[in-house]
Amino acid sequence: MKKIISLAAAILLSAILFSGCGSDNVTCLNVYNWGEYISDGSEGSFDTIREFENWYFENYGQKIKVNYDTFASNEDMYNKLSNGAVSYDVIIPSDYMIDRMRNEGMLLPLNYENIPNYQNIDDSFRGLYYDPENLYSIPYTYGVVGIIYNANKVDEADAKGWDLMWNEKYKGDILQFNNPRDAFATAQYKLGLDVNDLDHEKWELALTEMKKQFPLVKSFVMDEVFNMMEAGEASVAAYYAGDYFTMADNQADSVDLRFYYPERTNYFIDAMCIPSCCQNKELAEIFINYMLSPEAAIANAEYISYASPNSAVYNDPSYAEDMGEEAMEILYPGIENFNELYNTYSFRNLGPETLIYLVNLWEQLKIS
């Protein structure tokens, strides 16, 4: 069930987030990112936040504190920012949400004089539909949605296409996305429908397919998918390719996780942006520039196991060696024609009328 944050709770969270800011000559930067989406110093990894704080002090002679908060879905992030109760300086939404926020005036244009490392971003990731003039966003990661399954529970012959997510043999052992856009997309790709179609009749077809799946689903999840798949509490889940490696690394001895791509599936980009509620834009741009530096970008890409649009990452021989051949094949499929695949299968902003209609369909599904 989606958590509803009351205004009082949001104000309290804001107070906690900003505690200590401005005191003892400390400037705070508030970052809002996906869960499990940055190298955080655990198990001896590069601690991106702490290293940035140290780097800033060494180069600017000023103490800063990065307050790092996480969200589970684009919709959760959007709702939190749109209610105006909490302010962030850097956010990392997905492409279709960037398009929506840009159109609604929720993003600030970037000053590239403060972001010279933008030169590391490959041309294939510039001028895309959600930010055609590259004014509001800089790609952080990209990827493809696939299906993760436990080979100890799932027959290999069944592990193909989207049909596995609807296979009655695995009733009560299937996990589905807990957000309407990603969840309905699995049905739309299965049926060969356009995920960006504004025709309500086509969405009704997807709803019918989702209702067929509903009795088979163990749970609707986002970040909960990690523990459940790793522990063998579920055997089938649609999720992002990069997260497969995290799950495989942490799987129980009784679990054998595998991964494959259906023929039609979602290609996405998550990008760094500065929301209109930002309190320190220049510092936010300096942080984004640091995230694009070779040291930080390689560390983050290795830690989160997502594909990087940063040439300093994928052109680094040690990165490819550390990730391994299988990981590189899964993370960078069809990179030579990325633009074509992305333009065909990525989400677009549906517009307010269709978004409201989708939420209504989602509510119908949940009470079916």
Reply yes or no on whether the pLDDT at 17 is more than 80.
no
- Does the CA dihedral 304-292-13-26 come out positive or negative? positive
Reply yes or no on whether the pLDDT at 8 is more than 60.
no
Reply yes or no on whether the pLDDT at 9 is more than 70.
no
Reply yes or no on whether the pLDDT at 204 is more than 80.
yes
Task: State how far the Cα of 140 lies from the Cα of 306, in Å rounded to an integer.
Answer: 9
Q: Residues 297, 182: contact at Cβ < 8 Å?
A: no
Task: State how far the Cα of 25 lies from the Cα of 16, in Å rounded to an integer.
Answer: 18
What is the model's pTM?
A: 0.84
Q: Write out the two tokens for 286.
A: 């300096």
Q: Write out the two tokens for 362.
A: 């989602």
Task: State how far the Cα of 333 lies from the Cα of 304, in Å rounded to an integer.
Answer: 17
3-state secondary structure of 88: coil
Task: Please work out, in degrees rounded to the nearest 5, the angle formed at the alpha carbon of residue 118 by the alpha carbons of 41 and 130.
Answer: 100
What would the pLDDT profile of 233-243 be if each residue is shown by its tens digit? 999 999 999 89
**The total number of residues written for the chain in this structure:** 368
Q: Write out the two tokens for 311.
A: 């040439």
For residue 174, give the H/E element and its range. strand 174-177
Mean pLDDT of 110-131: 95
Task: Tell me how many helices (H) and strands (E) the chain has.
Answer: 15, 9
pLDDT range class, residue 36, cuts 50, 70, 90: confident
Q: What is the DSSP string of 140-172?
A: EEEEEEEEEEETTTS-GGG-STGGGGG-GGGTT
Task: Please work out, in degrees rounded to the nearest 5, the angle formed at the alpha carbon of residue 137 by the alpha carbons of 105 and 186.
Answer: 90
3-state secondary structure of 214: helix
Q: What is the number of other CB atoms lying within 10 angstroms of the CB of residue 248?
A: 19
Angle between helices 48-60 and 294-304 (to 10 degrees): 170
Mean pLDDT of 319-335: 87
pLDDT of residue 109: 98
Task: Please work out, in degrees rounded to the nearest 5, the angle formed at the alpha carbon of residue 53 by the alpha carbons of 50 and 58.
Answer: 125
Reply yes or no on whether the pLDDT at 252 is more than 50.
yes
- Does the CA dihedral 78-121-287-277 come out positive or negative? negative
What would the pLDDT profile of 164-179 be if each residue is shown by its tens digit? 999 999 999 999 999 9
pLDDT of residue 150: 98
- Kindly list the distances between the CA atom of residue 323 and the CA atoms of 45, 186, 313, in Å, as whole numbers in the listed order: 14, 28, 11
Q: What's the mean per-residue pLDDT of the chain?
A: 91
Q: Which of 190, 155, 186, 188 is nearest to 169 (CA)?
A: 155
pLDDT of residue 20: 55
pLDDT of residue 334: 65
